[in-house]
């Protein structure tokens, strides 16, 4: 039988207040620029879906591309010089010091080229997973600094339910406790399984954060929606007390 939370108020620590809960994404991120550059484009508007690997935003990296072209030319020159010295060294026309110098120059040119290749890889930020675009923090054509937020994203499918429970619940609530959240504005009930409770309680309110996972998630449930927690199998003492009162 379905029991609202108020029906189990006699159990240890249960209160008659409605326990409100919220659907929270388990995968979300605020993506930032890693280079000082102008924002060239942002690929998705708020609320639009994207697939893993899609370009979320790109930066104007014309100067970095020019630097890479120069580095590639210097690398080619250093390689040619070193290969020439290797041939001369075989003929005894170049000493070990000169050969080591051109070898070091080749290594330095290769390192510069690799660095610029890595830098150019930061000009486009790709989606780490399928998701939904959130808030834009800058607009295209605006200049950003390293670490400046550009766009928020989240996974609409990977949701968890968070709620604040009385600390006295810790004496009986566990993964076997049958919970559900009632999303009243949609008229939907979603079954839950408790995943964890916080390792630290709030001493003022004598409450603790609890996290539960939906067993099945309707498509019209989105992050940020709220509902009321209900307990389907309250503690035995509560059930016995209700039986005596009846």
The full set of domains in the chain, from first to last, is 5-26+158-245 (2.40.30.170), 28-59+123-154 (2.40.50.100), 62-120 (1.10.287)
Residues 61-92: tens digit of each pLDDT: 999 999 999 999 999 999 998 888 888 888 87
Residues 6+ apart with CB under 8 A from 56: 31, 42, 43, 44, 50, 125, 126, 127, 133, 150, 151, 153
pLDDT (tens digit per residue) in 160-203: 999 999 999 998 888 888 999 999 989 999 999 999 999 999 99
Give pTM, 2 decimals.
Answer: 0.73
Please, which pLDDT band fits residue 12 given cuts at 50, 70 and 90?
A: very low
99, exposed or middle or buried, with CB in 10 Å at 0-12, 13-18, 19+?
A: middle
Mean pLDDT rounded to a whole number for the chain: 87
Which comes out higher in pLDDT, residue 238 or 172? 172
């Amino acid at each position: 039988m379905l029991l609202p939370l108020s029906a189990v108020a006699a159990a240890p620590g249960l209160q008659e207040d409605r326990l409100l809960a919220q659907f929270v994404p388990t995968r979300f991120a605020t993506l930032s620029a890693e280079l000082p550059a102008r924002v060239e484009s942002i690929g998705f508007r708020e609320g639009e879906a994207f697939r893993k690997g899609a370009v979320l935003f790109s930066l104007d990296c014309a100067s970095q591309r020019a630097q890479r072209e120069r580095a590639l030319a210097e690398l080619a020159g250093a390689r040619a010089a070193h290969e020439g010295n290797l041939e001369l060294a075989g003929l005894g026309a170049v000493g070990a010091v000169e050969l080591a110098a051109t070898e070091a120059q080749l290594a330095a040119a290769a390192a510069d080229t690799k660095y610029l290749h890595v830098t150019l890889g930061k000009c486009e930020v790709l989606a780490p997973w399928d998701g939904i675009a959130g808030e834009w923090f800058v607009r295209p054509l605006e200049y950003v600094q390293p670490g400046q937020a550009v766009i928020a994203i989240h996974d609409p499918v990977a949701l968890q339910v968070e709620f604040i429970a009385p600390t006295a619940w810790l004496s009986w609530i566990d993964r076997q406790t049958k919970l559900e959240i009632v999303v009243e504005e949609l008229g939907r009930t979603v079954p839950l399984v408790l995943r964890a409770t916080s390792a630290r309680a709030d001493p003022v309110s004598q409450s603790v954060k609890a996290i539960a996972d939906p067993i099945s998630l309707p498509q019209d449930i989105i992050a940020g929606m709220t509902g009321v927690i209900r307990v389907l199998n309250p503690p035995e003492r509560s059930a016995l007390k209700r039986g005596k009162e009846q």
